[in-house]
A and B are shown apart, each in its own frame.
Chain A
Amino acid sequence: MDWRRFSFIGIIIILLFGVVVLIGGEQISPLIIISSMLATTLSVATPLTLGALSGIFCERAGVVNIGIEGMMLAAAFFGWLASIYMNSIFEYSPAISLTIGVLAAILTGGLFALLHAWLSITFKVDQIIGGTVINILAIGVTGFLNRQLFFDKGSIFGGNVPHAPGLLPTLSKALTVLCSGAQGCGGLPSLIAGTIFDQKPVAISAILLVIVANYVLFNTRWGLRTRAVGEHPKAADTVGIDVRRVRYINVVIGGMLAGLAGAYFTIESVPSFEPLMTNGRGFIALAAMIFGNWTPFGAWAAALVFGASQALQINLQFFRESIPPAWAFLQQSYVVGLAPYILTMLILTGVIGKTTPPAADGQPYEK
C-alpha cells in the first residue's frame, strides 16, 4: 500500500500523543493518558471518517460532493428532531427514540443526496454549484425550523425545548447491561477498555464501515463498477453498465453515510442542536478523503490525525497548570483548527506521495 502516507500519518499521531504524555506524564500514568487520547481521537474522528467515506462513494463514482457539510447538518437536526418527537410526543422509550433518531438522520442524508444526484446526474448542473445549494439549503432549513419549532411564540413546543431522550450509550455501558452486572470488562487492560469499549455506536459503526467500504470498493462487483464509472464512464457504458444508475445509488449511499455522521452530533455527542453546529467538519472530511487518496483506510488514517490534533487540545485542558509557557500556543483553538488544512496542503504539494482523483470526477456523462 501507500507506505509513505501511512508512516507519515503514524509519525504525526505519535508526535501529538507524545506532547500530551510529556506534559501530563508526571501527574498521571502515561498509559491512562494514551488511552484517554485514543478515546477522544476515535470519537472526534467519527464525523470526519464518515464524511470522508461519504465523499469516497460519491467521487469514486464520478460525482463531486461538497454538500457533505450540509447533509450532516440537516441530518443532525432532523435526527434530533425525530428522537425528541418520538420521546416527548409519542412517549416511546429513550432507546427506541434514539434509534429512530439515527434512522431519521440517515434518511435525511439520503434525501439531500438524492437532490444532489438529481441536480448533477439528471440535470448535469455543475456539481460544485449543486453541493453549494445543498449547503445553503441545509443551513436555511435547519435554522428556520429550529426557530419556528422551538423558540417562536405559538410554536409546537411552545418556546421551551423539551428534553432529548439522552444520548446513545457507550459500548461498555451496553455490555454491562447485557452481561447484567458481571465483571465482564474488568479484566481487560485499561488501554483497550478505555478506548474501544468507551466508544458509542456511531463511532464504532464508523470503524466497521471503513472496513466494509474498503471491501465493497475493491472486492465486489459493485465496487468495480463504481470505480469504472468514476474513471471512464463511456468505457463502463460499453460493457453494459448503467452509468446513471450506478452514480445515483452511490451518491445516495454517500448521503446516508453523511447522515449517520450527522447523528453523531446530536444523538451521540451532545443532546441538543445548535445552528451551524457541524462547523466545517464536512469540508475537513473532504480533506481527509483527498489526504487518503480516495481510499477508505487512507481517509480513516487522515481523519485520525485530524482527530488526534483536536484530542491534544481537549486533553491538555486537564494539565493546564503544568504546560510550559513555550507550549501554551497549543491550547489556542485556531492552532488545532488549522492542522487539517496545513496537513492537506502538505499532501497536495506531493511531499508525501501523489494523490490522484478518479479520472472522471465531477464530469457529467453524456453519450
Chain B
Amino acid sequence: MAEKSLTLEMRGITKNFPGVLANDQVDFDLREGEIHALLGENGAGKSTLMNILYGLYQAEAGEIKIGTEALHLDSPRDAIRHGIGMVHQHFMLIPVFSVTENIMLGAETDHRAAPNDSPLVRLDRREVARRVQQLSQEYGLEVDPKAIVGDLPVGVQQRVEIVKALYRQARILILDEPTAVLTPQEADDLFRIVHKLTQRGVSVIFITHKLKEVLAIADRITVMRGGKVVGTTTPQETNENQLAAMMVGREVILKVEKSPAHPTSQVLEVDHLHVRDVRGLEAVRGISFNVRAGEILGIAGVQGNGQTELVEALTGLRRCESGTIKLQNHDLTGKTPRAFTETGLAHIPEDRQRHGLVLSYTIADNLVLCDYYKPPFGLRGVIQQQSLDSHARQLIQDFDIRTPSPYIATGKLSGGNQQKVIVARELSRPVQLVIANQPTRGLDVGSIEYIHKEIIAMRDRGVAVLLVSAELDEIMSLADRIAVIYHGQLVTTVNTTAVTREQLGLWMAGAQPETTA
C-alpha cells in the first residue's frame, strides 16, 4: 500500500499552564484518511494538544501546517475554516437546544450558496434539518433533528457532535475519548462510522485509554507522557503490554489479581425497589438484592436499563416509589444523601462533572466535600485549613493526581485527574459500602490498575462493594457475583466463576436464564 499523503503537521508545539508544562516540543502528524490514535496517561497533554489544534488554546511555540500552508489558529473559527472539527471530551452541546439548532449554531447560513453575514438573517431550521438528515443517512449516524439534546442519551449526543463537525465539512476530525461514555455496542457503532469517514478521505485523531480499541482500529499510534511524545508505532509492531508500558513508563499488570472473597454479614439490603426516571417512567421495576461485607457485587447491563436510577435511589439522590433500602440494618428509604453517607456509604457517581465535583472549588475542598463539617476538617463550625492541606497532599500522592498544587480549581484538571479526585475522596473515607458507577471512566491503565487494587483491598478489609459498569471486562475481573439488569429488573445473579462473557452478553440483551433448581 502506498504511503498516504501528509495532511497535517504539528511541529515543536509548546504550551505552559501555571505550574504545568502541558505540551513540551510536541511533534504530531496526520495522513489523509488515516486513523491516528493518541495515547497517554491522565494529564499527559493530549487534550491540550488537540485544543491547540482546534484553536481554543494558543501555543507558546511551534507551528501547524496543513499541506504546505502554515496555519494561524487564533480561535476555533480559524480551525473550522481549515476543515478541523473536534468532539470534546466533555461534550460541547447546548442541552436546551434542538439537535438542529446545535448543529447550525455558528454556521447558521452554511447551507446557502451565498454566505449571509447579517446578524438578523432568519434561521432556516427546516432546510438545516433536511441536511442533517441527509448527512446522518449518508454516514449511518442516526439522529432526530428535532429532538432536544438534553433528552438524548450520551451515545446519541456524541453522534450529534460528529454530525456537527461533518456539517462544517471537517476533513480532520478530532475525537477526544469518544468511547469513555459509550457502551461496547455503541462503541462498535462508532468504529463503523469512523471507518466510513476515513473511506471518504476524512482523517481522524482518536484519543482513548482503551488499548484493545487502539489496536483494533488505529493505523498509527502516538504515545505521550508528561507533555512529550514518547514514540509513534503501529498496531502491527506492538501489543497491549508494550503500549501500557510506553504510556506509564513502567510495567503495568493489566490483569486484576485477587483472592476468593470471604463475605460475612449483610451490609446493603434492597427489597422490591421501584424507582421512576426523570420523565416519570418506571425505570427500576421491583429489584431486590443484597451485598455482604467483603464481597463485590457487579451490576452488568446495557446502559439505560435502570442502572442510573437504581444507583441514585441507593445513594439518596432519587425518591423511591416503593420498596426499602437498608444499610447496616438501618432503614434509609427516603432519607437524605447525607444520612446515607453518615451510615457508611461511599459513592462514585456516573457523571463526574454533574454529580461528583464542584468544578470551581479547589482540589483540597473537593476532597472533603463529604466530611468538611466533621473533625479534623471542621471544628466548632470553622474549617481547619491545616488538616485540609495535609489531607489533600496525602491523597494527591496516594492516588497520583497530576496537579501543580492542591489549590487549583478542579475544573482545570485533565478529565482523568478529575475522576481521580472523586475516587480518592470516596475510597479514603472509613465506610462500609462503596457504590461505584463506572469508577474508572476516562482513566489511564496505570490509574485503573491502582483503583482496582484499592477496591479489592477494601473488599478484603470487609467493605461491601456494589460495582456498576458498562465494561464487561471490568465487571468480570472485579466482581465476585454478577447481577444482570434488564429493563429495570434483575434477570439473574450468578457467581463470576460460573459464567462466561457470552452468557452475560445474552442476558444483558434480554435472554431469560433457564430455571435450574
Chain A residues with CB under 8 Å of chain B are 216, 219-225, 227-228, 231-232, 234-242, 356, 359, 367
Contacts and interface: CB of A to CB of B under 8 A. Distances in A.
Interface of B: 54, 56-57, 75-77, 80, 86, 88, 92-97, 101, 104-109, 118-123, 164
Nearest to B119: A222
Given A238-B54, A240-B80, 10 more contacts: A221-B108, A221-B118, A221-B121, A222-B119, A222-B120, A227-B97, A231-B95, A234-B92, A239-B105, A240-B77
B119 A224 contact: no
B119 A220 contact: yes
B120 A220 contact: yes
A220 B92 contact: no
A344 B360 CA distance: 31
A231 B93 CA distance: 10
A220 B123 contact: yes
A231 B92 contact: no
B94 A216 contact: no
The 9 closest A-B pairs by CB, nearest first: A239-B106, A240-B77, A222-B119, A235-B92, A221-B108, A238-B92, A231-B94, A232-B94, A240-B76
Nearest to A238: B92
**What is the interface of chain A mostly: helix, strand, loop, or mixed?**
helix
Contacts, number: 76
A221 B97 CA distance: 14
A238 B88 contact: yes
A224 B120 contact: no
A244 to B, nearest CB: 12
A310 B443 CA distance: 61
17 contacts: A219-B123, A220-B119, A221-B119, A224-B101, A224-B123, A228-B94, A231-B95, A231-B97, A235-B93, A236-B94, A236-B105, A238-B88, A239-B105, A239-B107, A239-B164, A240-B77, A240-B106
Contacts of B122: 219-220
A225 B106 contact: yes
B123 A239 contact: no
A266 B104 CA distance: 44
A213 B280 CA distance: 35
Nearest to A249: B119
Given A240-B80, A240-B106, A221 B92 contact: no
B105 to A, nearest CB: 5
Nearest to B164: A239
Nearest to A363: B360
B86 A238 contact: yes
Contact of A221 (B75, B80, B95, B109): B109
A227 B56 CA distance: 21
Contacts of B106: 225, 236, 239-241
Nearest to B54: A238
Given A219-B122, A221-B120, A367 B104 contact: no
A223 B54 CA distance: 25
B51 to A, nearest CB: 9
Contacts of B107: 239
B461 to A, nearest CB: 41
A124 to B, nearest CB: 13
B123 A241 contact: no
Given A237-B76, A238-B56, A228 B119 contact: no
